Amino acid sequence: MVIGKSISLGNTTDQSINSSLLNSEIEVGIRQRAWVEVDLEAIAENVRQIKRLLSPQTSLMAVVKADGYGHGAVAIAKTVCQAGAEWLAVATLPEGIELRDAGIKKPILLLGAVHTEAEVQAIAHWQLQPTLCTPQQALLFSQTLSELDQSLAVQIKIDTGMSRLGTPWQQGLEFFQLVQRLPNLELAGIYSHFATADSPDPTVMRQQYYRFENVINEIRDQWQSDSDLKFPLLHIANSAATLADPNLHYDMVRIGLGLYGLYPAPHLESVVPLKPGMQIKARVTQVKTIEAGTGVSYGYQFIAKKQTRIAVVGIGYADGIPRNLSNKIKVLIRGNLVAQIGNITMDQIMLDVSDIPDLQVGEVVTLLGQEGEYSISADDWANILNTISWEILCGFKHRLPRVNINSK
């Protein structure tokens, strides 16, 4: 359908195009092949559940980087803000601009590092809070903002053992003092990041915590008690640390994976009830019968041992279904578990539907999600691939439309 053209319905032509009909036809098109279904109410409830773990003095920062972990950043950001998230976090400058351009007013922390005057100017224009990791960065921000005659709230990151972004904790006080005295910089936060918070063994996490505490105590000793300035916000807990230990909550916690209804580790599943917000669905595009001895898909990694009814489904590795899952997963049709067979191809997969002889073209297949008593999660795929659920969620490509359900 071409939007703006007339639509012919039987003998009637409506030149104005009824908006409800237009929306209905667009929706049919979106769900024609394959799509990501996002349950916004599940996301909102996850926020509410996690906030019940926090004291009234602790804010929740919702991490919506990587397009909201594949769920759709703008819709997720609006949903979590309505549900009680006070802050948002993104990884890149374009991600932050996208949220501001969508009218989102909440404070947004930019987790990644930037190094050019143009980026600093854009950050100032869109009123994002940057992360400063090095003295060179701090000097660049101060100089560029001075030229703009503008001040900006910033946060500094202390590397307590992640060995990624951040100033080494041994130089934490010195870095704080530099940022504090540079003009046009308003220190709004100090934070770090755990490397092993999802481990049942808290040894490394505790070491990082003590290092962070050491830096903060040194900074407090330097803080002028008679100053009108508010002490910077402190935060170090990701989803795993938030669930593991309330003593790590500080002024704010950064919730990523938990927001989307998955747990960072099995031993944390009993802390709070969470519900996955994403389902992956596709439609059957052809059904056929093959005889015993017939190979299926590239390389014939599956050869039928008997006469087999197969279904072709319109989704593949170009959509984010890892090819290494070939012949290793099951999907759901009508609440039944059905085996995927043959190598997963770029745009299609094949299923053994011998037990559903009346299956029709157009029926919906659930690759991730729940139907009846069975559910398939990103964790299930991650376990097969020896990877993590984060990678699975972020892997679904943009040619899969995001369809939001249960939105308010």
Spell out the domains of the chain, with CATH numbers in brackets.
40-259 (3.20.20.10), 278-376 (2.40.37.10)
Does 100 count as an annotated binding residue? no
Q: Distances from the Cα of 76 to the Cαs of 68, 85, 229, 364, 405, in angstroms? A: 6, 11, 33, 25, 12
Residue (of 236, 240, 230) closest to 251 by Cα position: 236
Residue 5: both structure tokens together: 């053209």
Q: Which residue, 144, 156, 83, is CA-closest to 116?
A: 144
Candidates 61, 85, 60, 54; CA nearest to 247 is: 54
Measured torsion, CA atoms of residues 333, 339, 340, 341, in degrees rounded to the nearest 10: -140
How far apart CA 171 and CA 155 sit, in angstroms, is 16
For residues 342 and 367, give the distance between their C-alpha atoms in angstroms, rounded to a whole number.
16
CA 402, CA 188: separation in Å to the nearest integer? Answer: 35
The Cα–Cα gap between 284 and 328 comes to 19
> What is each CA distance from 52 to 16, 157, 272, in whole angstroms?
50, 27, 9
Length of the chain: 408
Question: For residues 393 and 69, is the Cβ–Cβ distance under 8 A?
Answer: yes
Quick one: pLDDT at residue 27?
A: 56
Contacts (Cβ under 8 Å, ≥6 apart) of 271:
53, 243, 244
Residues with Cβ within 8 Å of 244's Cβ and at least 6 positions away in sequence, in order, are 197, 202, 205, 268, 271
Quote the DSSP letter at residue 291.
Answer: -
Q: Check residue 229 and give its pLDDT.
A: 76
C-alpha span between 185 and 107 (Å, rounded): 16
Answer for the pair 308, 352: CB distance below 8 angstroms, yes or no. yes
Note the pLDDT of residue 230. 85
**322 neighbors 299 (Cβ within 8 angstroms):** no
Rg value, the chain, Cα? 25
Report yes or no: 184 and 231 within 8 Å, Cβ to Cβ. Answer: no
Is the CA virtual torsion 143, 144, 145, 149 positive or negative? positive
Bridge-based pairing state of the strands 152-159 and 59-63: unpaired
Give the global pTM: 0.90
User: Distance (Å, rounded) from C-alpha 213 to C-alpha 221?
Assistant: 12
pLDDT at 32: 87
pLDDT for residue 255 = 98
Beta carbons of 302 and 327 less than 8 angstroms apart: yes
Q: What is the pLDDT of residue 2?
A: 30
Nearest to 145 by CA among 107, 183, 112, 179: 183
Any known ligand binding at 346? yes
Q: What is the largest CA-CA distance in the chain?
A: 84
The DSSP symbol for 101 reads: H
Q: State how far the Cα of 27 lies from the Cα of 401, in Å rounded to an integer.
A: 10
First to last CA, the chain: 28
Distance in angstroms (rounded) separating the CA atoms of residues 272 and 265: 13
d(CA 299, CA 80): 45
Q: Taking the chain (408 residues) in consecutive chunks of 10 residues, what is each chunk's mean pLDDT?
A: 30 42 54 94 98 97 98 98 98 98 98 97 98 98 97 98 97 96 97 97 97 96 71 97 97 98 97 97 98 97 97 98 98 97 98 96 97 96 98 95 87
Nearest to 86 by CA among 112, 108, 65: 108
Identify the bridge partners of residue 368 per DSSP, sorted by sequence position. Answer: 280
- Which residues are the active-site residues? 65, 298
| In contact, 402 and 71? CB cutoff 8 Å | yes
